[in-house]
Amino acid sequence: MAPYAHLAVYKVCFGLDWPESDILTGLDVAVADGADVISISIGEENMPFFQDNIAIASFAAIQKGIFVSCATGNSGPFNGTATNIAPWVLTIGASTTDRKIKATKKLGNNKEFDGESLFQPKGSPSSTLLPLVYAGSNE
């Protein structure tokens, strides 16, 4: 949690109209307002960084010590469909997995409930480090 956080929201998209000048203005205003973090949920088609306005504006923000994260878009899951991939931006995307990490909780009355957890207590068989294995592409 961030109890002293100040949230500033800038609307730069109106319907399906996303003028690049509005996006850049929103980023510039966030920098001028003293933002510590900028989170961008806008993705355009991939292009060279010197033509990508979000990449350019986020680079300027990074130079001022502002952390920038961007959504990767909703065009996948195909090669080259991730957007906002500038190396100075933390790019966030959703994913799925075909496995569960099972956790069983036993209560004082001996009832057991199954769930999922990433917590692996010391000494459990699954706390042993195992090598990563590349299973091949998803094609």
Q: How many CA atoms lie within 13 A of 43 on its CB side?
A: 21
- In sequence order, the 6+-apart residues with CB closer than 8 A to the CB of 96 are none
Q: Determine the pLDDT at residue 68.
A: 93
The pLDDT of residue 88 is 92
- Structure confidence by residue, pLDDT tens digits, 3-52: 777 778 888 888 777 788 888 899 999 999 999 899 988 877 788 888 88
* 83-120: burial string, b at 16+ Cβ within 10 Å, e else: bbbbeebebebeeeeeeeeebeeeeeeeeeeeeeeeee
pLDDT of residue 60: 92
Per residue in 94-111, pLDDT tens? 766 666 777 787 777 888
Mean pLDDT, rounded, for 81-99:
80
